[in-house]
Amino acid sequence: MSHNIACYRCGAPLGALSLPFSRRDQCPGCSADVHVCKMCMYFDSGVPRQCREDGAEDVTEKERVNFCDWFKPWTLHEVRLPHCLAILMTISRRRFLALAGAAVAVPPIAGCEGVEKVATANVPRSPFSADSTAEEVTEGVDLSGMLAVVTGCTSGIGFETTRVLAKRGAHVVGTSRSLENAEAACSRVMGDATAVQLELSDFDSVVACAESIRSLNTPIDILVCNAGYRGGGNERQLIKGIEKHFVVNHLGHFVLVNRLLDRLFLASQGRIVVVASRAAYSGAPAAGIDFDDLGMARSYSDSLAYGQSKLANVLFSLQLAEMLRGTRATSNSLHPGVINTDIDRNLNPLTRFGFGLLTKLSGKTIEEGAATSCYVASSDLLGSTSGHYFEDCNAVTIDGTGHLHDRAMAEKLMLVSEELTAEYLVEQRRPDWSESENGLQNKTDG
Ligand SMILES: NC(=O)c1ccc[n+]([C@@H]2O[C@H](COP(=O)([O-])OP(=O)(O)OC[C@H]3O[C@@H](n4cnc5c(N)ncnc54)[C@H](OP(=O)(O)O)[C@@H]3O)[C@@H](O)[C@H]2O)c1
């Protein structure tokens, strides 16, 4: 099997290269270092390719090869035993187990064909990867004196994020639909943690939650919009005419951010971290958010609704970053990984069993699952990084299908969300920054 490839930078043809492990070191056209990605060679058979790998980092190659890629070899006609053996020789334990797990996994959890993931330019690269834990990525980070808010602190990624941010010295406000559960979670954390009740599907509760946080009278350094809902049983549920995933996962957080934004402006560098999912491109409607049918009457499945709400998470963060330009505050979104948490609590037992098995075999641990949230929330490297989407502790750009970087859709989402929640929003003035002897000072009212 051979492939015609072209230089990732200038497009000069590099000729036909054959398997296995073929590489070119330098492009004759522009002298770029060209590393022919083994994975492109294996998986995109017959298609002329521009390999984007520069061979500089192994991490980059890992990123390209997401879980879904492992389905491909088994569906390609060209795959023959030597190729499969070569693949197995080059994959990590996680990838191997992913492949094994895939054999028993449920199809809706997978499925991101046609997607290319590349490292985002101009965002500092971290030394961390899918295997890094939240403790590892925050090693040496001092958050003392800071206030962090984590929605959905009672289980899974949210609890681990709360635990680690508190361990690094932050005072963490953790939320749950039940105050008792939030208190129980906060009491299990070593450090300073305060419980607040929050039901994201009820905007009065969101406003009350924001008021409780505001009553602490302190700037907010970190706001992690982590809480999430995923339905089961494919039964469409509406809240005031809007599909439930969209309300809980997006609109609730939309109102919360609005009501806390001025407190983020008061921080020396406020960070909004939106926990989305790669379902934003693998599970959302092909045409993106269907603004004409937010009740999803035309077409509904739990996966589609979850994917659409997660796309809304990413686009909200993108548009927020646009609004925050010129301030010290930033907004980024992320996919935490595939992790065995209670997020599958509403799935039917068989699907839950499949998801549990898949995540146990090939997913991340909860400690790894909280790493990207904690990294984006606290790394010194990212002080001015805004409007990006992260996976495995690094910013990535998704090419091909999906709308993750669609600015027009992000803008529309902001307008529609404002209309839908207008009565719960407060007017947020951009801060009036001025130079002083001590540096920038924020004149926004507390
Ligand atoms: N696990 C994965 O594989 C995965 C993959 C991609 C993305 N994610 C995302 O990661 C985030 C965390 O999920 P997880 O996996 O840690 O799941 P989880 O263990 O189920 O945690 C979800 C949290 O959200 C809270 N929550 C649920 N519904 C809520 C509502 N209506 N209002 C307020 N809070 C609510 C829950 O708190 P209470 O029940 O105490 O109220 C819980 O603390 C979610 O946004 C999820 O979409 C997870």
Q: What pLDDT is stored for residue 139 in this prediction?
A: 97
| Closest-CA residue to 411 (of 294, 316, 311) | 316
Q: What pLDDT is stored for residue 399 in this prediction?
A: 86
The reply to whether 183 and 241 lie within a common domain is yes
The answer to whether residue 229 is domain-embedded is yes
The reply to whether 74 and 165 lie within a common domain is no
Our answer on whether the CB atom of 156 is closer than 6 Å to any ligand 1 atom is yes
The reply to whether 208 and 323 lie within a common domain is yes
Three-class SS state of 102: helix
The reply to whether 176 and 87 lie within a common domain is no
pLDDT tens, residue by residue, 331-386 = 999 999 999 999 988 988 888 888 888 888 889 999 999 999 999 999 999 999 99
Residue having the nearest C-alpha atom to atom 8 of ligand 1: 277
**Rounded (10°) CA dihedral 287, 389, 36, 125:** 170
Looking at the structure of the chain, the number of domains it has is 2
Our answer on whether the CB atom of 229 is closer than 6 Å to any ligand 1 atom is yes
Our answer on whether the CB atom of 307 is closer than 6 Å to any ligand 1 atom is no
The answer to whether residue 439 is domain-embedded is no
The reply to whether 81 and 30 lie within a common domain is yes
d(CA 404, CA 313): 10
Our answer on whether the CB atom of 201 is closer than 6 Å to any ligand 1 atom is yes
| Closest-CA residue to 186 (of 204, 167, 159) | 159
Our answer on whether the CB atom of 228 is closer than 6 Å to any ligand 1 atom is yes
Report whether 168 contacts 378 (CB < 8 A). Answer: yes
d(CA 404, CA 118): 13
The answer to whether residue 372 is domain-embedded is yes
How is residue 152 written in tokens?
A: 């959905």
d(CA 381, CA 372): 13
The reply to whether 240 and 352 lie within a common domain is yes
How is residue 372 written in tokens?
A: 């990207």
d(CA 67, CA 380): 30
The reply to whether 34 and 152 lie within a common domain is no
Torsions phi, psi of 395, nearest 5? Answer: -75, 135
The answer to whether residue 119 is domain-embedded is no
Report whether 398 contacts 117 (CB < 8 A). Answer: yes
**Mutate which of 341, 345, 376 to test ligand 1's pocket (most atoms within 8 Å of Cβ)?**
341
Show the low-confidence residues of the chain (pLDDT under 50): 1-2, 18-24, 36-93, 95-113, 434-446
Residue having the nearest C-alpha atom to atom 28 of ligand 1: 229
The answer to whether residue 428 is domain-embedded is no
**Mutate which of 150, 159, 177, 247 to test ligand 1's pocket (most atoms within 8 Å of Cβ)?**
177
* CA of residue 32 to ligand 1 center, whole Å: 44
- CB atoms < 10 A from the CB of 443, how many? 10
- CB atoms < 10 A from the CB of 32, how many? 15
The reply to whether 279 and 217 lie within a common domain is yes
Q: What pLDDT is stored for residue 31 in this prediction?
A: 66
Q: What pLDDT is stored for residue 17 in this prediction?
A: 52
The answer to whether residue 24 is domain-embedded is yes
Q: What pLDDT is stored for residue 114 in this prediction?
A: 60
**Mutate which of 160, 207, 229 to test ligand 1's pocket (most atoms within 8 Å of Cβ)?**
229
The answer to whether the Cα torsion of 387, 392, 398, 402 is positive or negative is negative
Our answer on whether the CB atom of 343 is closer than 6 Å to any ligand 1 atom is yes
Q: Half-sphere exposure (CA, 13 Å, Cβ side) for 299?
A: 12
Our answer on whether the CB atom of 311 is closer than 6 Å to any ligand 1 atom is no
The answer to whether residue 126 is domain-embedded is no
What residues does 434 pair with on adjacent strands?
441
Q: What pLDDT is stored for residue 360 in this prediction?
A: 82
The reply to whether 309 and 178 lie within a common domain is yes
Residue having the nearest C-alpha atom to atom 38 of ligand 1: 176
Residue having the nearest C-alpha atom to atom 17 of ligand 1: 343
Alpha carbon distances (Å) from 138 to 125, 166, 330, 378: 15, 11, 19, 7
Report whether 281 contacts 232 (CB < 8 A). Answer: no
The reply to whether 141 and 86 lie within a common domain is no
Our answer on whether the CB atom of 161 is closer than 6 Å to any ligand 1 atom is no
The reply to whether 271 and 408 lie within a common domain is yes
Please tell me the pTM assigned to this model.
0.78
Our answer on whether the CB atom of 283 is closer than 6 Å to any ligand 1 atom is no
DSSP letter string, 143-164: -TT-EEEESS-SSHHHHHHHHH
In the set 42, 300, 375, 424, the catalytic residue is: 300
Ligand 1 atom, smallest distance to 182 CA: 40
Report whether 165 contacts 186 (CB < 8 A). Answer: no
> Where residue 240 sits, what CATH number does that domain have?
3.40.50.720
The answer to whether residue 43 is domain-embedded is yes
The reply to whether 148 and 222 lie within a common domain is yes
d(CA 159, CA 51): 39
Q: What pLDDT is stored for residue 190 in this prediction?
A: 95
| Known catalytic membership, residue 424 | no
Q: Which domain holds residue 251?
A: 134-419
